[in-house]
Copies of this chain bind each other. A is one copy, B any other.
Amino acid sequence: MADKRSVGKPKFNVSQIGGEFALIGRLTEKPASRKIVKGIGDDAAVIKAGSKYLVFTTDTLVAGDHFSLKYFKPEQIGKKAVEINVSDIGAMGAEPNYFLVSLVLPEDIDVKIIEDIYKGMRQKGRKYKIEIIGGNITHGKQFIIDIFMIGEAKKKNLKLRSAARPDDLIFVSGDLGSSAAGLNLFLKNKKGFNRTKKRHLEPEAKFHKVKPFLKYINAMIDVSDGLASEVIRICEQSNTGAVIYPDQVPINPETIKAAEACKKNAMDYALYGGEDFELVYTVSRKNINKVKGFMVGKITREKGVRLFKEGREEPLAKHGYDHFLT
């Protein structure tokens, strides 16, 4: 990188301070405006707007990290860029309305690829009845798609990471680990496992799964970075701890076989892999018969997130939440 300079002290990089998660903590300040219901620290920001809330989120796809043209069709990249932002909006209990697309393009990228990415984005736009209203195009070394999405929530529907209470049970809306398994299949050039690969190529937001019983959900988050990290985020914001029951985490049989083919552990994919975009939500004990999903843990007053394995609790060993540590 030509574009770096010493600031006169030893290098002090993001992984040295504890990763992206710690960095966000350092960069966060308490909001001043009373219109800000939720600032930095949730799936989306929330602003009061008369009788409802406006929600705003941004999520970025970086070539070579979040997608590769070696195995993604351009349309799939566009679709994924939209779905991951819709997922963040849904994790707030909100519905998406509009989005802006900010592109960083390598100079020699084929225009057909960009047009096909837009086709994919518009296809998802029709699915969610949302539109591209603007954006920006600039050039850079790496192909990057950054979407900013705008949505709205009824006040009563808003779901924050901070609303988990001790003794809540933790649910997940569907099976985990497939996307990470799919990525590994591609990286290792494995044939077959089409369901698992598709989960990586064509993730879908899951808000529709929880919408029927939204009022019984306390805290909610989507699985961008693995179940473990999402539970940690809920606990950080809710000032609680949690226990995860790995034996109860739903994993599709094909994902297990895919993991075996890659000489990996499917549970690691589920806990630390990410990009499943299932929803993780906490529910008061009295309401557990009102909700659907898979019960995978419980919120505790005791801090820290532990795994319940072989009859006892042990602290989390890995940090799926940090792109800088994986």
Mark A residues whose CB is within 8 Å of B: 1-7, 9, 11-17, 20, 23-24, 26-27, 29, 31-33, 36, 39-40, 42, 44-45, 47, 49-50, 54, 56-60, 62-66, 68-70, 74, 98, 100, 102, 104-115, 118, 122, 131-144, 146, 148, 150, 323-324
Contacts and interface: CB of A to CB of B under 8 A. Distances in A.
A131 B31 contact: yes
A122 to B, nearest CB: 7
A36 B135 CA distance: 14
A54 B52 CA distance: 15
Given A69-B3, A142-B142, A110 B33 contact: no
Would you list the 3 A-B pairs with minimal beta carbon distance, nearest first? A45-B134, A45-B133, A148-B148
Contacts of A33: 131
Give how many copies assemble into the complex: 2
Contacts of A60: 102, 104, 136, 138, 146
B4 A139 contact: no
Contacts of A3: 63-64, 68-70, 142-143
A17 to B, nearest CB: 5
Given A45-B100, A56-B98, A110-B12, A137 B24 contact: yes
A108 B106 CA distance: 22
Contact of A111 (B23, B70, B134, B137): B23
Contacts of A36: 98, 131, 133
Nearest to A119: B27
Given A7-B112, A112-B12, A323 B138 contact: yes
Contacts of A13: 107-111
Contact of A100 (B106, B107, B148): B148
Contact of A134 (B58, B70, B104, B113): B58
Contact of A112 (B9, B49, B50): B9
Given A7-B110, A47-B150, 20 more contacts: A1-B108, A4-B108, A4-B109, A13-B109, A26-B115, A36-B98, A36-B133, A39-B131, A40-B132, A45-B100, A45-B133, A47-B98, A49-B49, A50-B50, A60-B102, A60-B136, A102-B146, A138-B323, A140-B144, A148-B148
A138 to B, nearest CB: 5
Contacts of A139: 14, 62, 65, 323-324
Contact of A39 (B14, B66, B133): B133
17 contacts: A1-B141, A2-B64, A3-B69, A3-B142, A13-B110, A14-B139, A16-B111, A23-B111, A24-B137, A39-B131, A47-B98, A58-B134, A58-B135, A60-B104, A62-B138, A141-B142, A142-B142
B144 A144 contact: yes
Contacts of A113: 7
- The CB with the most chain B CB atoms within 10 A, among A13, A15, A31, A134, is that of A134
